[in-house]
Amino acid sequence: MTTMQLQTLSILLVDSEPRFRSQLRSLLSFYPFLDNQPFTIVGEAATLTATLALAARQKPDLIILDLELAEGSGIEMMVQLREQGYAGRVLALSTNEADHWVFKAMQAGARGYIFKETLRQQLNPAIQTVMQGQVYLSPEVTTCFFRQFQFLNQNVLQVVRSLDLTEREQEVLHWLVQGESNNAIAHRLYVTVATVKAHLTSIFEKLEVRNRTQAIVKALRLGLICTGGEELGMC
């Protein structure tokens, strides 16, 4: 198959700083064909609102996302992208090397995580890995991820007990985080939509939140839910 026959990879760049977005463009220009696949940058955004609008309009295959934004957080952005039905992949960039930050980004849906100081060496292999349907974590990021994984495994059951979530509420919360509607959750659990709404009301009260998005963000922050299909308490 020739290069001309390959589908062009569409990329959206998200960072608060125009200078850094320019640096990203320059870096990508060194890789005119990522793993023999042509690509195009379909847009740039600096805020959560602009990113959501561009993602809905352009439907990029890949979003390269700086997690430290001037308006909102990259974690919240990934949650909202999933809620609005974004089906592409997200590669997270950050200067934050804290274990819990890496873990939260991966929970929220990032398919890869790069520390900015290693961006020049890792961007190209990270994009190739992510677009092949795999997860990209460098050795140093993997260490952070599994340190937090071990910590949360020791604490998640205690958190669940303190919240007093019932088994059914845990199931509803799990599917809520996966982006399912009330109707879809009801279908999966063989209950009525009214029952799902009642469970959600109880979940919101126990998590001390007011809506679905806040519940998802808090569940991810507490380490209660993973986004790769795992059940509650299995992060």
What domains sit in the chain, N to C, each tagged with a CATH number?
A: 3-144 (3.40.50.2300), 164-221 (1.10.10.10)
Under the banding of pLDDT at 50, 70 and 90, the label for residue 143 is low
Specify the 3-state DSSP secondary structure of 28: helix
Under the banding of pLDDT at 50, 70 and 90, the label for residue 32 is low
CA 4 to chain centre: 31
pTM for the complete prediction?
0.62
Closest by CA position to 145, among listed 212, 215, 98, 195: 98
Least confident of 54-58, 110-114, 158-162, 204-208: 158-162
pLDDT the model gives residue 5: 55
Q: Tell me what the mean pLDDT of segment 75-90 comes to.
A: 89
222 touches 157 (CB < 8 A): no
pLDDT digits (tens, 9 = 90+) for 88-104: 999 999 887 777 777 78
* Helix residue spans in 84-208 (DSSP H): 99-108, 119-131, 139-163, 167-177, 182-189, 193-207
Q: Kindly report the CA angle at 159 between 85 and 95, in degrees rounded to 5?
A: 55
Q: Which helix (H) or strand (E) holds 63?
A: strand 62-66
pLDDT digits (tens, 9 = 90+) for 182-198: 999 999 999 999 999 99
Q: What residue type is assigned to position 174 of the chain? A: H
pLDDT the model gives residue 233: 42
* Helix residue spans in 48-118 (DSSP H): 48-58, 74-83, 99-108
